[in-house]
Amino acid sequence: MNRKLFGTDGVRGRANTHPMTAEMALRLGAAAGRYFRRDGRNRHQVVIGKDTRLSGYMLENALTAGLTSTGMNVLLLGPVPTPAVGYLTRSMRADLGIMISASHNPAEDNGIKFFGPDGFKLSDQAEAEIEAIVAGEIDPAQPQNIGRAKRIDDGRGRYVEYAKTTFPAGLRLDGMKVVVDCAHGAAYRAAPEVLWELGADVVPLGVEPNGFNINDGVGSTHPEACAAAVVERGADLGISLDGDADRVILIDEKGRMADGDQIMALLASRWARQDRLKGGALVATVMSNLGLEHFLQGQGLRLERTRVGDRYVVERMRESGFNLGGEQSGHIVMTDYATTGDGLIAALQFLAAMTETGMTASSLARQFEPVPQLLKNVRYAVGADPLSVEAVRSVIADAEARLAGSGRVLIRKSGTEPLIRVMAEATDETVLHEVVDGIVAAVERAA
């Protein structure tokens, strides 16, 4: 079943522009309510969280109207991280969880992500079925079965308490100075609270949301802000979250950044030594660095690759029983603790490694030397298909042959905009640039 409304991570777009309008949010809420209602009784629940974008109020109210119109009872959490919605959906025995967020995108964008009763994001099939309901007639509930809405005042507190339980019992962060950049987003209160309650000297950054400044010069897409604060304040670690706190970039005490690949490498090797890494494998996407794969092989571990998107990482993990995966961008999925990427809990695992070993962040954050990687984007006209042009396919084939044994080429279409992403890795940086530039030129000519 094809999906046009849903992308790789829910429904996303510019606020007040299709599909991120109040009208569409109302229909999405009604369609999701109809999909999850198993009978006519008024007993079904949905939890809704959001980040700090101004448009979140509009979408929250519209979703609530749609959901209650089909008999769902709505529990409003207010601003909480995306992983908190996954956790609370399961904890509160809800049929559905919804997060209103466009993650690391600018403030003028927004999105709607759906979670099933198990706390995991909905499958492609479930999203396609909801989309089909949106396109048809949606039967409203009878007047006596209309749902209720209630605000849950302690939703953030419940998540804070749970997040602390993922840090080893008996350990504290006393004497450790931590900069935490919350991107003026969903974790602006939860993340500093968790770290402070565990004993850290917390330097908060990006904790003054005004509806318009989420991800603006701060957060995981702008980690240089956190890096500067770490150096200036003499901190032991910097934690740079994105707008909905499901991804993280870490900063060592020297101001150097560690992406998701380096964090996953550390956790995989530690968990393997502790006999905690299920299946002897780490799940990551095709974008993860070749250096990570070589590092894992040296540890006797495997790298299982999926297509881009944390939902596909989680699907592979669940299918095969793995418990660690993620993306280079900073989504770290630890199914022992969470149902989706959780930037704060990933940072707590790193802090646990620092505390238990007595090692500095810089000693732990560089687990392998990355193979040089280059990514360029080429925009193309909607409806065009540059990758089907024979000249482009020929150039790509030549590049793959040239890098055989010393690198790799990855060409893919963006799932959210008309872009061809051209990525390559090679031990020889001169060859790397020649290969990528050659493919980009061919795609531009075809586009």
Binding-site residue set: 103, 242, 244, 246
Residue at token pair 């990514």: 375
155 and 91 Cβ atoms separated by less than 8 Å: no
Q: Pick the catalytic residue: 55, 69, 101, 103?
A: 103
Instruction: Name beta bridge partners: 150.
Output: 75
Rounded Cα distance between 11 and 146, Å, is 25
Rounded Cα distance between 18 and 307, Å, is 27
Q: Residues forming the annotated binding site for Mg(2+)?
A: 103, 242, 244, 246
77 and 152 Cβ atoms separated by less than 8 Å: yes
Neighbouring C-alpha atoms within 13 Å toward the C-beta of 56: 29
Rounded Cα distance between 140 and 315, Å, is 33
Q: Would you state the structure tokens that stand for residue 23, as one six-digit string?
A: 């009208």
Residue type at position 116: G
Nearest Cα residue to 403 out of 262, 286, 290: 290
Residue at token pair 């509806």: 211
Catalytic residue flag (residue 103) = yes
46 and 66 Cβ atoms separated by less than 8 Å: no
Catalogue the active-site residues.
Answer: 103
